[in-house]
Amino acid sequence: MVEMVHVSKAYTQSPQALRDITLQVEKGKFVYLVGPSGAGKTTLLKLLYAAERPTEGEIWVNGVEVPRLKPREIPSLRRNLGIVFQDLKLLPRWTVFENVALALEIWGGERKDIIKRAVEAIRLVGLEGKSSSLPSQLSAGELQRVAIARAIVNNPPLVLADEPIGNVGLGAAEEILKLFADINLRGTTLILATQNQNLPALLPKEIIVLENGRLLENSLSRVVKGWP
């Protein structure tokens, strides 16, 4: 599903954002990508959805070698992924329904089907009754749910979530994680980036630990100890 081989990424202001990352995420897995702020989690996710290009190394997502994609091929890669952005990227003047339906509109299809699937995704994240609300009328947890609904509405095989529980309280975080677990149970592969070291304990899954752009741990179903 996802494979990175000796991937490095350097920026002018951060010459070692990622260093020699090699990892593999199999289909159907739920993986936590943990590490402190600046560890390279967001950069790693951006490489997966082609928002950044690696300085070196190979990256494969859904059988596609991402760095070799031409600019016009990138939309197709992203349409086959569900992405929950750190800053959510919700359209502020669009309602919850319109934000979620946008991902389906991009895919194309019958209006009737788009409405049905968007309503279903909104129901799945527990926001029925909020369809007509604008993002400005929602709480932080609800906004996260909208972003998740938009990410899963197309039933993508892989969902990438960047700090989806960073701005919410523990209770809301637990609910969001349970929601991700439900999504994972439906067969969707999940990579969830977080700097909260305690959260994986709520829902033990495979964990990848990043620190200063390096891969520290890549283990199954255990909480990482000794990490500040």
Partner 1 sequence: MGGYFFRQAWQNLKQNIWINAVTLGTIVISFIILGFFLVVFVNADGLLEEWKSRIRVTAYLPNSLTTEQIKQLQDRILSWPEVQGIGFRSKEEALKALEGRLPGRKGLLKGIPRNPLPASLEIQLKPGYRNSIGVEQLVERMRGNPQIEGLQYGAEWVEKFSAFLILVQVLGLGLGGLLFVSTFLVIANTIRLNIFARQEEIEIMRSIGATGFFIRAPFYIAGVFQGILGAGLAVLILFFFFRLFLREVYDPLKPILGDLAINFLSAEQTTAMVLGGLVIGFLGTQVAVGRFLRI
User: Is the separation of the CB atoms in 166 and 147 below 8 Å?
Assistant: no
The owner of tokens 């609800």 is 142
Min CB(96)–partner 1 separation in Å? 15
Residues of the chain by 3-state class (helix, strand, coil), percent to 5:
35, 25, 40
Q: What is the CA radius of gyration of the chain?
A: 17
Site string for partner 1, 140-159 (x = CB under 8 A): ----------x---------
Which is nearest to 99 in space by CA: 142, 150, 143? 150
Instruction: CB nearer to partner 1: give 144 or 197.
Output: 144
Site string for partner 1, 50-69 (x = CB under 8 A): -x------------------
Alpha helix segments (H runs only) across 52-95: 74-79
- The length of the chain in residues reads 228
Instruction: CB nearer to partner 1: give 26 or 105.
Output: 105
Min CB(79)–partner 1 separation in Å? 4
- Residues 227 and 219: their CA atoms lie apart, in Å, by 14
- Residues 106 and 159: their CA atoms lie apart, in Å, by 17
Q: DSSP letter at 12?
A: S
Min CB(78)–partner 1 separation in Å? 3
Min CB(66)–partner 1 separation in Å? 14
* Count of positions on this chain that bind partner 1 (CB under 8 A): 25
Instruction: Return the amino acid letter for 176.
Output: I
Instruction: CB nearer to partner 1: give 72 or 225.
Output: 72
Site string for partner 1, 103-142 (x = CB under 8 A): x-xx-xx-x-------------------------------
- Residues 186 and 92: their CA atoms lie apart, in Å, by 30
Site string for partner 1, 75-94 (x = CB under 8 A): xxxxxxx-x-x---xxxxx-
Q: List interacting residues with partner 1 (CB under 8 A).
A: 51, 72, 74-81, 83, 85, 89-93, 102-103, 105-106, 108-109, 111, 150
